[in-house]
């Protein structure tokens, strides 16, 4: 499984170098903001898996995003600069996701509380990693499975946050 090892190595590099991850996320945000029809007052950042960790890094960097949503995101990295977060945070996590163990969730909670962030974390009982991916079973990744109910519930949670933030 050479390909998986290469992916994991690249993701570890981003985890170990938050400024690099933040610069990539910021570059993506800059491309979006350069579009003429974008309402700069209604920006949210959404990410799945590593993308969830990436949008969280974008928020920690102080990006002017009103909401940040992560679906089965990496939460294993605690930062000390979460007080830079200006938007509301929603992390949607499978309670049985082996990539997001209880200690990562507890550390994330402590980080958000210490920074005074408006945050929430929805836990979905019985859900594993990649619960939003209907093709999760095609990938040789233990602890990953699609869960339609959790996918739909987490999507509604995101829409509820958007209603709250952009109303």
**pLDDT reading at 92 higher than 90:** yes
CA distance 158 to 161: 5
Q: How confident is the model at residue 79 (pLDDT cuts 50, 70, 90)?
A: confident
Residue 140: per-residue pLDDT: 72
Q: Is residue 144 very low, low, confident or very high in pLDDT (cuts 50, 70, 90)?
A: very high
Conformational region of residue 101, where left means phi above 0, alpha means psi within -120 to 50, and beta covers everything else: beta
Considering only CA atoms, give the Rg of the chain.
16
**73 phi and psi angles, rounded to 5 deg:** -85, 160
pLDDT tens digits for range 102-116: 999 999 999 999 999
pTM to 2 decimal places: 0.92
**For residue 147, pLDDT beyond 70:** yes
The reported pLDDT for the residue numbered 76 is 83
Query: Could you tell me where the beta strands, DSSP code E, fall in the chain?
Result: 44-48, 67-71, 88-94, 119-124
pLDDT (tens digit, 9 = 90+) per residue, 42-70?
999 999 998 999 999 999 999 999 999 99
- Determine the pLDDT at residue 9: 73
131: number of Cβ within 10 Å: 27
Q: What angle do CA 162, 98, 3 make, to 5 degrees?
A: 95
Q: pLDDT at position 65, please? A: 97
Which pLDDT score is estimated for 4?
Answer: 65
Residue ranges of domains in the chain, CATH in brackets? 2-166 (3.40.50.1820)
Give the confidence band of 14 by pLDDT, cuts at 50, 70, 90.
Answer: low
Q: How many CA atoms lie within 13 A of 3 on its CB side?
A: 3
Q: Is the pLDDT of residue 1 over 60?
A: no
| Torsion, CA 23, CA 29, CA 34, CA 39, rounded to 10 | -150
Could you give the CA distance from residue 35 to residue 111 in angstroms, rounded to a whole number? 34
Place 17 in a pLDDT band, splitting at 50, 70 and 90: confident
């Amino acid at each position: 499984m050479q390909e998986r090892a290469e992916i994991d190595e690249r993701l570890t590099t981003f985890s170990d170098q938050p400024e690099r991850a933040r610069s990539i996320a910021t570059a993506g945000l800059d491309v979006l903001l350069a579009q003429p029809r974008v309402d700069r007052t209604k920006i949210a950042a959404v990410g799945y898996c590593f993308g969830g960790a990436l949008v969280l890094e974008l928020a920690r960097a102080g990006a002017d995003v009103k909401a940040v949503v992560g679906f089965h995101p990496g939460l294993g990295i605690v930062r000390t600069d979460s007080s830079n977060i200006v938007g509301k945070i929603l992390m949607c996590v499978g309670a049985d996701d082996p990539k997001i163990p209880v200690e990562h969730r507890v550390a994330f909670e402590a980080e958000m509380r210490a920074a005074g962030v408006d945050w929430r974390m929805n836990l979905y009982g019985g859900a594993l990693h990649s619960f939003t991916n209907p093709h999760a079973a095609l990938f040789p990744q233990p602890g990953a499975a699609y869960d339609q109910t959790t996918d739909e519930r987490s999507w509604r949670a995101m829409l509820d946050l958007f209603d709250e933030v952009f109303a």
